[in-house]
Amino acid sequence: MVTIKDVAKHAGVSVATVSRVINKKEPLTEKTIKKVNDAIEELGYYPNTYARTLVGRKDNVLGVMLPFFNNPFHSELAQEIEFWAKENQFHILFTATGNSDEERFRALEYLLSRQVSGIIISTYINPETAMEMRRRCKVPILELLNHLLEESCSVMSDDRQGGILAARHLYSKKCRKVVHVGGRLEAYRYADERTFAFEKECQKLGISCKVYKNRREVTNLSAMRDLINLVFYENEGMDGIFFSNDILAAQGVSYALTQGYRIPDEIRIMGYDGIFISELMYPPLTTIQQNFQLLAKTAIKNIIGMINGEEIQKLTLIPVNLIERKTT
């Protein structure tokens, strides 16, 4: 592995001079800076930022805890988090937490061992575990898409608004017998609000509404097929389905088409999230779109504010948006 001493020898300067170039400390001549940068490029040297953190230099690294990496929703959110962190001169260290408390504590310890300046948690953790994590953690924590503790600072989508928009849209399309398939509420508690709001609004509008609660991860395709098969089998005559995420909705559309349903003439289908596949599938999916960009931008702004000791509001709600396409 190339070291700073190798760079200094190659450039014909001292180790201290190389360090000054890397840290952009003046005064240095343009000739010296060029020699050192040329040596760095030729040798393929990368500064050990972790070691520099250990000796007391503040390193702008944020930790982000996601439940999994194989869900397109989390992938799109992670991409925006990375972008807005870089816009603010921060780097991101991602880790997946899985489903167990043991995995979550390991993920937390991993981030803390890397000397991160703050942590964004974007996965459901039960309140008792969240309290223990806060006790162990000496850096600011921000919750993204969850609000686990009253004292927490959180950034969330307005899922109540989303549930209401979905019910009103299906009503406007003459749906009167609808089904809602909820998310895996044990893991995504923020989905509760959209489910409750949808049910309540359907009741107000006089729409018959039956709710199914999904208990499996949406990337478990065989389990999702079984759930969707059950929904269609038990609800003859339904004219609308509101799925709590676009992956479930995509599978629902596929199943309906294989069973000979004409979409949207015989049945109307909606999703939630607004991930990119919702526009690519056939027919393109009507969905409630979460604002990934604003969620990430606000989360990064707030966690940096917390790191800097600023007063941050406890809960920030980001509006959602109805995107009407060909499935309704």
- Per-residue model confidence (pLDDT) at position 130: 77
CATH superfamily, domain at 61-157+293-318: Response regulator (3.40.50.2300)
Domain with CATH 1.10.260.40 in the chain: 4-45
* Amino acid at site 275: I
Torsion of CA 112, 114, 120, 121, to 10 degrees: -60
- CA–CA distance, 289 with 319 (Å, rounded to integer): 9
Superfamily of domain 4-45: lambda repressor-like DNA-binding domains (1.10.260.40)
What is the token pair recorded at 263? 């979409």
Q: What is the residue-level pLDDT of the chain in tens, covering all 328 positions? A: 678 888 889 989 988 888 888 877 778 888 888 998 898 888 878 776 555 554 444 568 999 999 888 889 999 999 999 999 999 999 999 999 877 778 888 888 888 888 899 999 988 777 777 788 777 788 899 999 987 777 789 999 999 999 999 999 999 999 999 999 986 554 445 557 899 999 999 999 999 999 998 776 666 778 888 999 999 999 999 999 999 999 999 999 999 999 999 999 999 999 999 999 999 999 999 999 999 999 999 999 999 999 999 999 999 999 999 999 999 9
Residue 309 is classified by DSSP as: T
Instruction: Tell me the pLDDT tens digit for each residue of 210-260.
Output: 999 877 666 677 888 899 999 999 999 999 999 999 999 999 999 999 999
Helices 15-22 and 4-11 sit at what angle, rounded to 10 degrees?
A: 110
Q: Hey, what CATH class is 159-289 in?
A: alpha beta
Q: How confident is the model at residue 146, as a pLDDT?
A: 84
Instruction: Give span(s): CATH 3.40.50.2300, the chain.
Output: 61-157+293-318, 159-289
- List, for residues 40-59, the tens digit of each pLDDT value: 888 878 776 555 554 444 56
The pLDDT of residue 52 is: 54
